[in-house]
């Protein structure tokens, strides 16, 4: 008797192979998604402060001889520091070295003094006041009003009408470019008085 007649026949189904590979791929994607979500900071994407520090809530001490100096008690490490009382921003690199500081024009809605993270960015949009803006860096929401830094394409930094609820913190185009390059998603933003 020929061997072929008694040997078991192996039938290969291409749909079975595809189904097996698909199931394996979905399981791997599910596992990787779980791992990624387990390591994302809880504050990322949140409109709530990342850290409600009592030090940030009090007026941070200022150097009266050097009013543009980084305020004490404004945090540590790489971050953006924004003073709502002084309308000033500091871009702070590693080692707490100030890379740049500049004046800003706030919107009509201020964020609470606390620590946040950059949650979204837009290259060019129309602001809620109808002005074309660029380099939008958002870090929180207050009562449904998005709060973030931006630069008007026409270069103006005019204060908004107090009757409107606006959270755009306007900076010059040059300062807006510096902010855009510095404050990527997840960058800490410390708001002080």
Residues 78 and 93: beta-carbon distance below 8 Å: yes
Question: What DSSP state is assigned to residue 131?
Answer: -
CATH architecture of 54-192: Beta Barrel (2.40)
- The one-digit pLDDT tens for each residue of the chain (193 residues) are 555 555 555 555 555 665 555 555 555 454 444 444 434 444 444 444 544 444 444 555 566 667 789 998 899 999 999 999 999 999 999 999 999 999 999 999 999 999 999 999 999 999 988 999 999 999 999 999 999 999 999 998 989 989 999 999 999 999 999 999 999 999 999 999 9
One-letter-per-residue 3-state SS of 97-118:
CEEEEEECECCCCCCCCEEEEC
Q: Dihedrals φ, ψ of 99, to 5°?
A: -85, -30
Can you give the residue ranges of every domain in the chain? 3-38, 54-192
Q: Which residues of 134-170 are buried (b: 16+ CB within 10 A; e: fewer)?
A: bbbbbbbbeeebbbbbbbbbeeebeebeeeeebbbbb
């Amino acid at each position: 008797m020929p061997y072929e007649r008694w040997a078991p026949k192996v039938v290969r189904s291409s749909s079975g192979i595809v189904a097996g590979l698909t199931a394996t791929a979905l399981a791997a994607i599910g596992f990787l998604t779980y791992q990624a979500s387990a390591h994302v900071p809880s504050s990322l994407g949140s409109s709530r402060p990342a850290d409600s520090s009592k030090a940030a809530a009090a007026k941070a001490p200022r150097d009266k001889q050097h009013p543009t100096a980084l305020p004490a008690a404004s945090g540590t490490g790489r971050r953006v520091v924004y003073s709502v009382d002084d309308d000033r921003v500091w871009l702070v690199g590693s080692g707490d070295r100030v890379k740049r500081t500049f004046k800003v024009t706030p919107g009509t809605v201020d964020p609470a003094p606390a620590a946040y993270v950059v949650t979204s960015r837009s290259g060019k949009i129309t602001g809620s006041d109808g002005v074309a803006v660029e380099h939008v860096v958002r870090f929180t929401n207050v009562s449904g009003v998005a709060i973030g830094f931006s630069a008007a394409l026409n270069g103006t930094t005019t204060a908004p009408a107090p009757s409107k609820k606006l959270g755009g913190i306007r900076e010059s185009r040059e300062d807006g470019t510096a902010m855009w390059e510095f404050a990527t998603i997840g960058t800490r933003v410390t708001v002080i008085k």
